[in-house]
Amino acid sequence: MMNDNELTQLCGQMPVFSAQLLQQLLERIDKFGKKALNIREAAEYMGCSPSYVRQLANNGLLAKCKPVFSDINDTKAGRTSRVFFLREDLDAFMMRHRIPSKYEVDQAATDYVLNNRK
Distance CA 87, CA 44 (A): 12
SS3 string, the chain, reads: CCCHHHHHHHHHHCCCCCHHHHHHHHHHHHHHCCCEECHHHHHHHHCCCHHHHHHHHHCCCCCCECCCCCCCCCCCCCCCCCCEEEHHHHHHHHHCCCCCCHHHHHHHHHHHHHHCCC
Other beta carbons within 10 Å of 85: 25
Total domains in the chain come to 1
| Domain that includes residue 75, residue range | 21-115
CA 99 to chain centre: 18
Q: Is the pLDDT of residue 44 over 70?
A: yes
pLDDT by residue (tens digit) across 70-93? Answer: 555 555 555 567 889 998 999 999
> Is 58 part of any domain?
yes
Distance CA 99, CA 80 (A): 38
The pLDDT of residue 66 is 86
> Is 45 part of any domain?
yes
CA 100 to chain centre: 20
> Is 9 part of any domain?
no
Q: Is the pLDDT of residue 7 over 90?
A: no
Kindly report whether the global pTM for this prediction surpasses the value 0.75.
Answer: no
> Is 56 part of any domain?
yes
